[in-house]
Chains A and B, each alone.
Chain A
């Protein structure tokens, strides 16, 4: 069975500090990977997607970057946090090339920027 693990569970960071969030997918080779962001009480918005190692596409510009250093790992980062980065970050995966396939979400990381 496939599992998705996100870390950390929660972070409290200062404005201007760096950030690194990660997720790992086990039990599934070559998944499509995604980062979503949810403002408190808000909807989910896709930030990045990746279909293969080393290839990441940005969907919205939020002064964040993402990388996929390994087939099963997806990293979200920034060098300087903004207050607007606060929210809930969700990593997700799906089977490749199955357009009607559901997304499998991780448990998320709650980020508070102070």
Chain B
């Protein structure tokens, strides 16, 4: 069965530090895509970064990077030089290639990040 697990309910960090958020997933598909989205206080959901399962290199976009450990079915999100504006709920999500046009994303429960001055 498909499942995405985020065990950290909330994290609090000081501004300008680095934070890592954990995510593990379960899938029977050999090909899948992993995403991180963030939900701001207004409810808006913003795409951050994606990792394709067949790629060995960790994806990096701006101050977001991923720690993809395929044997452990793990896809951690790393935010460097955190800013107050990074405070949000972060969702890990997975889509199997077999999902086809359903576009179905399986989301984790989310991790609330609070960045303190």
Contact = CB atoms under 8 A, between A and B. Distances in A.
Interface of A: 32, 34, 42-46, 49, 51, 57, 59, 88, 90, 94, 96-97, 99-100, 102-105, 107-108, 110
B91 A99 contact: no
B62 interface: no
Interface string B19-61: 0000000000000010101000011111100101000000000
Given A99-B95, A100-B52, A108-B43, A43 B103 contact: no
B42 A49 contact: no
A108 B40 CA distance: 12
Residues of A contacting B: mostly? strand
B101 A102 contact: no
B107 interface: yes
Nearest to A109: B43
Given A43-B107, A43-B110, A100-B50, A105 B101 contact: no
A90 B104 CA distance: 14
A53 to B, nearest CB: 14
Contact of B100 (A34, A43, A44, A99): A99
Given A42-B109, A43-B108, A103 B103 contact: yes
B35 to A, nearest CB: 7
